[in-house]
Amino acid sequence: MELKNKKILIADDEPDILEIIRFNLEAEGYTVFTAKNGDEAIMEAKKNLPDLIMLDVMMPGKTGIETCNLLRLNPAFTDTIIIFLTALSDETTEIKGLETGADDYLTKPISPKVLVSKINSLFRRISKEDSPVLHAGELQIDRERYIIIYKGEDIILARKEFELLALLASRPGKVFLRNEILNQVWGTEVIVGDRTIDVHIRKIRQKLQLDCITTVKGVGYKFDL
């Protein structure tokens, strides 16, 4: 479920719409934030730095278009995907032409399937990070295909091993404390013994045949090529 590392902010004045969209996108594995109006959307955007922002065009206070223009003024949001939600009735050329700084638009009523497929395809086609592949030297970590590629060879890791390696490799050089690792890979509720991490680290080292994980005694582990 937490496979997609993408944040989406939705702004709409109708709570029902917010919930429907939230439900469907969370089911897809996205992290969802919501806002009731343009001002709130801008605040949330600055706070959470979403990868995609969905703005209802007709909102009390600032319209979606005004909100979009304000967001685009901020360099932090030049690369953010912005899409509009519009009722069929106000589907003007302006929105159709996407001259508003938005990347796409959706018409209400929203079909969950269309919503999800559009969002997915936007991430797939527009996002600068087109593939969810993490490159670290000769090593590629493909979250989508759930495989490791080392020198062209596919290496298959079990889930915990994969998540653990992906975490470490997400910030090469950074030392992850054992606690951080436990929280990120196992979650906060699960309690496992002391040696569990070690065993998984060992399996990764074994399968990769590559000395890329360094032990920092008394502290944690780090990934380095």
Partner DNA sequence: GCTTTTGCTTAACAATTTGATAATATTTAA
Partner DNA sequence: TTAAATATTATCAAATTGTTAAGCAAAAGC
Residues that bind DNA (CB under 7 A): 156, 158-161, 178, 186, 190-196, 198-202, 205, 215-220
Dist CA 186 CA 81 (whole Å) = 31
Residue partners of 137: CB distance under 8 A and separation at least 6? 225
177 binds a copy of itself (CB under 8 A): yes
120 binds a copy of itself (CB under 8 A): yes
Site for a copy of itself in 12-41 (CB under 8 A): 23-24, 27-29
Go through 29-59 and write b for each residue having 16 or more CB atoms within 10 A of its CB, e for each that does not.
ebbbbbbbbbebbbebbeeeebbbbbbbbbb
Closest CA to 119 of 66, 82, 93: 82
Site for a copy of itself in 77-116 (CB under 8 A): 79, 81, 88, 93, 96-99, 101, 103-105, 107, 111-114, 116
Least distance to DNA, CB of residue 42, Å: 40
Nearer to DNA, 128 or 217 (CB): 217
Residue 46: contacted member of DNA, a copy of itself, none (CB under 5 to 8 Å, by partner type): none
SS3 85: strand
Dist CA 223 CA 213 (whole Å) = 5
DSSP element (H, E) containing 87? strand 81-87
> In degrees rounded to 5, what are phi and psi of residue 120?
-60, -45
Site string for a copy of itself, 121-140 (x = CB under 8 A): -x--xx---x----------
Residues interacting with a copy of itself, by CB under 8 A? 1, 3, 23-24, 27-29, 79, 81, 88, 93, 96-99, 101, 103-105, 107, 111-114, 116-118, 120, 122, 125-126, 130, 144-146, 158-159, 173-175, 177, 179-180, 183-184, 188, 216-219, 222
